[in-house]
Amino acid sequence: MDISRTKYILRSLLLQGFWNSRKMQNVGMLFIMYPYLFKLYSAYPKFLRRAIQRNLETFNTNPAMVSFCLGAVMHQEQVLLKVQNNLDVFYEQEKEWVIVRSSIASTVASLGDRLFWSTLKPLSLVFAFTVLYLGQVYFLNDSVQVKDLSTIVLYALACAFLTYNIPVFITRYKGFTLGYEGNEDNFFGLTKINWNKLITVLKTIGQGLTLFVFIYGLYFYFAGVVVDVDVITKVILLSSFIILSVFIKKWNIPNIYLYLGSVLVFTLVALF
C-alpha cells in the first residue's frame, strides 16, 4: 500500500494538540491515523469502526519519535486486514496489535525523553551560548559587552532552533520508514540504531562545549583583574559548587538542595 510519509509526519505535529488527562494522546494518534484507516477499511465499515475504537485506546509517547509508533501500528493494521475473514485469528492478532502498540510507545517514550528532552534541548542551549560568546556577548562581566547584538542574538537563536529541530525531523522521517518496514525481530526498527552510543556522543559534545563556554567566560571575566582575596574566594566558591553538582547527581540528591545551599552561601558571603 502506497503511503505518503510526509502527509502523516505533518499530521503528527498535532499529536499533543488533542491531549487529555484520561487517555493522553489517543485522540491525537487517531487524528494522524484516520486517513490511513479510512483508506484501508473503506470497503469494510464494520472493521473501520473497530479500528477507530482500537486507536482510541490510551496512548502516550515522546512526540518527536512518534513516527516509529506510526510505522509499526500501520504495519500491524495491514496484518489485521489480511486475516479479517478468520475471526479467531483476527482477535488473536488484535491482541498482539495492542501489545505492540503499548510496548513500542513506552520504549519510544523512554528513548525520546533521554535523547531530546535530556540531551538535545540542553545541547541546543549550549550551542546558543557558544555563538553568543564567540560573538563577544559576555554575561559573566558586570556589564554586558555587545558587538552588533541583534545579529549575534539572531544567529544564536537560529543555532539553537536548528540544533534541536533538524534531528527531530530526521528522526520523524527515518523513524516512520524503520517502523513501517520493521518487525518484531528488530522491534520495528528501533534496534537498528545504537541509541546509547548516539546519546553518549551528543552528551560528550555538550559537555565539551559547556567547558569551552565556562573557560572562555572566565578568561574575559578575569582578564586584567588583580588577583586578590575577593577574586580567589569567587573562584573557590564557583569551583566548589561545580564539583558538588557532579557528586550530587551521582548521589541522587535533588538539585534543589544545591540551589538552596548556593543561595545561602552566597548570601552569607555578600553580608560579610
Secondary structure of 79-140 in HEC code, one letter for each residue: HHHHCCCCHHHHHHHHHHHHHHHHHHHHHHHHHHHHHHHHHHHHHHHHHHHHHHHHCCCECC
Question: Which of 26-30, 35-39, 51-55, 85-89 bottoms out in mean pLDDT, i.e. has the lowest?
Answer: 85-89
Q: What is the pLDDT of residue 2?
A: 52
Residues 98 and 76: their CA atoms lie apart, in Å, by 10
With a cut of 90, say whether residue 170 has pLDDT above it.
yes
> How would residue 228 be classed by pLDDT, with cut points 50, 70 and 90?
low
> How would residue 28 be classed by pLDDT, with cut points 50, 70 and 90?
very high
Contact 199, 114 (CB under 8 A): yes
Q: What is the pLDDT of residue 174?
A: 92
With a cut of 50, say whether residue 142 has pLDDT above it.
no
Residues 8 and 31: their CA atoms lie apart, in Å, by 10
Question: SS3 of 208, please?
Answer: helix
Q: What is the pLDDT of residue 136?
A: 66
Its pTM stands at 0.76
Tell me which residue of 27, 57, 55 sits closest to 40, measured CA to CA.
Answer: 55
